Structure 1
């Protein structure tokens, strides 16, 4: 008998199962009686009446789908309006909307790494999101991965290279919620004539004046050597992504970014929702300050209870777990008690430390935050009689 060509899948699954790393899909109902600390709806806009009505109105007017790639039939007046509003709100000259934040990062990195013959270098932070990492892999340029949040090592790398380069970083890193030192990175890049690309997915709507993002807060928005990417699926409660930057950069992407040229345009409903969410944020800028306040409250309460958690720079609070199986059980216990939390395990965490990830939302009340943290603390591995390890994490029994 011929060998089964997919036997290797069973072997990999068994290794994942033994390590406690099997991931499964869990479809949620439309209405779920849990306090959500797992999603990325930072400003609580995904179900805002203006946002959902705008999505429905866009679908009724423009149809369920974009009908084609942006360069064929997939660009509508709605897409152009959204791009103009995003650029104006975030302080950039131009914007380009794509079907996801992932696609936006792939587009920006691959299209801006320079011609293959130019010998360009990509300098990537070790904590970057997978979409930036994949963009570096797909780009036809050499990539140097530098330690996390280390501008001095970026300087050393650029000095040794001595040629065209693009530094790539998250603004807020999705695992621990810590922020990149953007002013220092920009200064280093300018010292060596390199460009800076910042994924501001977790900064838009949370950081900066009225939620204009980390790049705006750092005074870098609109700079001729700085490009930002954002997602429309977090603070704006919709779906899609965008690249923001100088007009000539956006023109370069329109002509050469494969995830733009060959992908169907963003669905009109998502574009309409994102545009409406921007309008709500402009009108209610206090939502950005509120989500930061909620994140600080989450961190204070979990650390006061003796858990180990990284101090948040934006909306993400990461709480250490002793092992992958313990993290999975902890997250399941939280959900059973009415609190949804994120669960991050290797290989999603580069340092190998499993975490529960709590994401703050501007629409959470103080009572909800207090009750949710009580659940997290009550269900923690240490609360079941287990001991702490040397790092301060509670260990499994």
Structure 2
């Protein structure tokens, strides 16, 4: 016990100690956390569907037809017609032949990667991939090689010198930086070097591309070019769970081999039907995405004018780079004192020296909400006297990091 207590104290001194907030009521920009009324800018509810009235009504109606629990795994007696309907809808929505539901995005990546690669195989993973991808690679027992973030030339050189079964895995939109992977170039080198490409589009699904079909659809990449597409349903889709979509033979293979699919209880069938409803809302959500982009564009212009260091992201994920852990915490706490909830992101979620505030926008935010955030940032500028030094350190570390646990 003494060792555990000592480690916790060390984390507190280093500014790395984490605490939970207790939220009351629905997830929305104006929420109650630990009994305080706050304006939140840290949710992944990009389209504002987590508390959408039509979503809630769809779930209420579905509960009376399907009951609550999934009761068993899909391969026992838990695969309900509602799950089948959602899988078919997701396959059609993403332009894939077939889809398979998972309970969470983390479980999807663990199951998919460890099923598609094993001992004797090689996985190539972007250095800034999400923790679930990193853990899936470890669980697979394959040889894992990390390529520098977004560096297709380095990846191609690695692929060229490697024999045997090869798997390349990347986030579509990187969850802490907000940038988009070079998917077209990745698809090309994978085809040329006979590697299977897996894209986790957790933060692109619902937000990017025609009708919100994701970062892969935004580039018009086919199932042949991106054979394995992973997406989550707890972010822009506003519900819960995850899916993988691709050729029928691969989905059948995952059904046989993905342990996180085989050995877990199916999601509540009513939730699957509510998600079908939300797919309609996503497809019809052009105005929501337009509004979301207007918030993002205005924030980038005005926050930069205040002197804050932003990353090159055009998505609703807008990191404010700080660098120092304690300085990042101080800025987050100062904003909270003004009624603004923007969480501090610190190692090991991001590399050492790259602590930041992760601002995320929702279509439920108004421009008046953005006014409040910008005013708060203006009032707190004095807390970042070493901002330029921190940014320089962050840029240096970005070129050197090799093993960060990102998630």
TM-score tier (shorter): over 0.9
2:309 aligned counterpart, secondary structure: coil
The alpha-carbon distance between structure 1 residues 280 and 385, as it changes in their structure 2 partners (threshold 3 A), is: closer
- Alignment-derived partner of residue 16 in structure 1: 11
Greater Cα offset, 239-248 or 326-335: 326-335
The match for 1:48 among 52, 58, 61 is: 52
Would you identify which runs of 4 or more consecutive aligned residues in structure 1 move more than 4 Å?
391-394
SS in 2 for 1:355: strand
How many angstroms apart in 2 are the aligned matches of 1:377 and 1:70? 52
- 1:20-77 CA deviation, whole Å, 9 max, x = no partner? 1110111111153332210100001111011112222233322221001111122111
Unaligned runs of 5+ in 1: 1-5
Whole-angstrom distance in 2 between the partners of 1:208 and 1:136: 28
Report the Cα offset of residue 338 of structure 1: 1.9
CA deviation profile, 1:154-210 (whole Å, cap 9, x unmatched): 101111103220100001101110110000001010110101000000101111111
Please give the alpha-carbon distance, in whole angstroms, between the structure 2 residues aligned to 1:313 and 1:95.
29
Secondary structure class of the residue paired with 1:265: coil
Whether 2:89 is the aligned partner of 1:90: answer no
Q: Say if 1:267 and 1:169 are closer, same or farther in 2 by CA, change over 3 A.
A: same
Per the TM alignment, residue 283 of structure 1 is displaced from its structure 2 partner at its CA by: 2.3
Partners of 1:273 and 1:304 in 2: CA distance: 42
Match in the other structure for 2:308: 307
Match of 2:382 in 1: 383
**Which residue number in structure 2 is paired with residue 371 of structure 1?**
372
Residue 204 in 1 paired to residue 205 in 2?
yes
Structure 2, unmatched stretches of 5+, are 26-30, 394-407
Alpha-carbon distance between aligned partners in 1 of 2:60 and 2:295, rounded to the nearest angstrom: 30
Mapped to 1, the partners of 2:131 and 2:182 lie a distance apart of 20
Contact 1:321 1:393 in 2 (8 A): no
Matched residue, 1:73: 77
Name the CA distance, whole Å, in 1 between partners of 2:307 and 2:269: 47
TM-score with structure 1 setting the length: 0.92
Match for residue 242 of structure 2? 241
Q: Distance in 2 between matches of 1:322 and 1:188?
A: 34
Contact 1:299 1:311 (C-alpha < 8 Å) held by counterparts: no
Aligned to 1:228: 229
Report the CA distance between 1:351 and its aligned residue.
4.7
1:161-310 mapped onto 2 (5 Å cutoff):
161-223=162-224, 226-310=227-311
- CA 1:393–1:371 in 2, change beyond 3 Å: closer, same or farther? farther
Residues 211-247 of structure 1, C-alpha deviation per residue, up to 9 Å, x if partnerless? 1000111222422652110000000111111001111
| 2:403 match | none
How do 1:22-171 and structure 2 match up within 5 A? 22-30=17-25, 31-32=31-32, 33-113=37-117, 116=119, 119-171=120-172
Aligned residues: 384
Provide closer, same or farther for how the CA distance between residues 390 and 92 of structure 1 changes in structure 2, counting only shifts above 3 A. same
